[in-house]
Structure 1
Amino acid sequence: MTKPEILAPAGNMFKLQTAVRYGADAVYLAGRRFGLRQAADNFTIEQIHQAVAFAHENGTRVYVVLNGFLFDEELEDLPPFLAELESAGVDAVIVSDLGVLTTVRRHSNLRVHLSTQASALNSHAARFWRDMGVTRLVLGREVSIAEAAIIKREAGVEVELFGHGAMCMAFSGNCTISNYTAGRDSNRGGCIQSCRFKYRLSDERGGAGPQDHYLSSKDLQGIAQVPSFVEAGIDSLKIEGRMKSPLYVATTVRAYARARDAAWQRQADFGVEDLFRELNTMSHRDYTSGNLVDKARSDSIYLHDERHEPNSHDVIGHILEATENHLAIHLRNPLETGDRLEMLVPGQDIRVLATDTLKDLTGQRVQRVSSNRVVLLPADSIARAGFLLRKPKSKIDAQKDDISHDTDDAALIQHHRAHAG
């Protein structure tokens, strides 16, 4: 039986480190070119080398996305980039374009995974791609877990399925809506998620209905199907979201890793309801199981419900430093004395931290600390640098739960100490 890897998105270095800390077996990321997320905070060549080194030190694999559809002049620039990826020790690349595939095969020894963009849906296609040198298929989102198991058995190739995250309404992501609404090519990194906009339906006589999200899907959530991933021998459970927040990465990886480990150990009750509640703590649309069990139907379409609570918790920040004397926390939202502060611990239950004593970097006690500041909390034996913190949602307007750029924690502490007092 195959133990499915938990494959996590890594939109920047901090998110990669977060995924690794919280139990991801592999991460996927992109360089500054050749991928499908131009708006993401993608990696430079130097950062890819650093990312692979960090991941491999912690037993995590790194896959680099090359899933854009390229023109001839762009393919000419690909071989030098492939050489850098090989030098860095990247574990595989993810491709969609046959031209990219043949270039990778001709100019490198990198393992090749086929992107979901290529829409591999059956064993005949799987055998073709296998014979072309592909070692793993990221199957189209239209494929169920049971169908994926058949494809793996018939074609003798690794299979990967999305288990969580946003979904395209188009056929395995092949979409041109952004081309026509914004002049940006969805299949070359320019998607602006036009399908997620509100639209108004009009009839031939000019009558107009209400605005709603007629072209977009609910978010995929397959936590209850994790035992089926294990039983079917699916090689990889993929989490969507390179542009999502570090808290999203930590929450999803932690939840799916716990579910996978429990299923692997054949635990009948792996706490699916608790994990479902965990996945409700972060910002999300209504959930659907998509095509994982049965074919998606009209109830998988996202129709905005004003009663839907997108998240029950707000991000607070992350631990910069954990010593015998204190925890240094970089805040993304305000924190007050007495607030319930929850720490996400890899592989363990949520841990509540004491907030009865808050101090600034001069050691002075404070009642409230605003966002984008560093606060000192009492030491905690479990806490480690990089752990994510949250609190139950309040009525305040929370900042966007994101760390858009990589952070140097030591430099951040030094900066705030220099300006303290």
Structure 2
Amino acid sequence: MADAEVPRRQSLIFLLLYALAWAGGAIAYVPFLTIWLPGRMTQLAGTADVQALGYVTFFGAIAASVGGIGFGWLSDRTGNRRGWILAGLVLTIALLLVVPLAHDIWSLVAMIVAWQLTLNMMLGPLSAWAGDLVPDEQKGLLGGLLAFSPALGGWSGWLVTWPGLVTAEQRLVVIALLVASAVLPVLLFGRPRAFPQLTAPPPARAASERRRPTGPAVRMWLARLLVQIAEAALFAYLYFWFRSIDPGMHDNEKARLFGMALTIAIPIALASGRWADRNDRPFLPLVAAAAVSSLGMVGMALATGLDAAKASYLVFGIASTVFLSLHSGQTLRILPRSDRRGRDLGIFNLTNTVPSLIMPWLTISLVPGFGFDALFLLLAGLSAVAVLLLATMPRQR
């Protein structure tokens, strides 16, 4: 193909369908893990439900880590992203429908571990597929569109718990239908333009050299890990923090605030991503979002009243959502090898799972003796380190 015939931009329809498919992952795990699973744990374990949920979280995080790397690597080796995505989708839905058949804690843990593997059979190749098909000039837009994912995950949880709409027994069926409706369109109707330069094998010299992560890749990995630790801590302990500020704050108000942050982040992420594409400044919005996120946590540490606490949380929640969405798009820019893209993105996925193993120890060490203020200041410091890592990173062409 002559250079003049090589497309410069991916079709907007494919980008929209891809973003919907990516949101299918959040639709799968947010209501399942945050609503259905805790309730089922209480039924099976009674007063030991918190400890049992800890086992599920721990082993599930390990399974997600292994699955992301393993299935990403397999999609690299086979060159068939669609096939792995479809297989993962079918198995994820099948396990969602049979998991109620687990009637004791350890069979439920085993099913959740298997489900985490199948979910990452879908998500690992899906993330690498974007690297195969989205040029650098549109990676900011892609990151902005990915901001729909956490919002749709939250909205799906709201939908399946709507009083009188869906019975408790029907929730997993509805979740399965929503996941299929989100992921199948890009597999069935997506007609992406090919970008041979994005999938070309690396030069022979690069292929024969010892495979090491590049400096920019390491910086991007560390920056995301630091911000994700803060995000994971807030996700897990937001309820308790607001309760410490105002014991009378209703649960629905907490949920509404959380959903508001995710929703407001969408247009900001889209605008920031488009600005980054047009001005060829891919990392500047990441620096700004991490800095604002850090300031939001400082505000949370200093807040003494409910209004200040809610405003500071909104600043943090919006900025961290924008950061994580844009980061997902720009990560594809700095991966060193196209033939190991799925595997490398699986390694980046560790930044989503490792914080679940780190965050509880930070909280246990700080909150009982020093309060949430100390925790938030530490997390603000971690996000500030992420700012430095990205602000001093050399530009990638």
Q: Same fold (TM over 0.5)?
A: no
The structure that is strand-richer by fraction is: 1
TM-score normalised over the length of structure 2 = 0.25
* Structure with more helix by fraction: 2
Q: Which has the higher contact order (CA 8 A, sep 6+)?
A: 2
Give the TM-score of the pair, scaled to structure 1. Answer: 0.24
Q: Whose radius of gyration is greater, 1 or 2?
A: 1
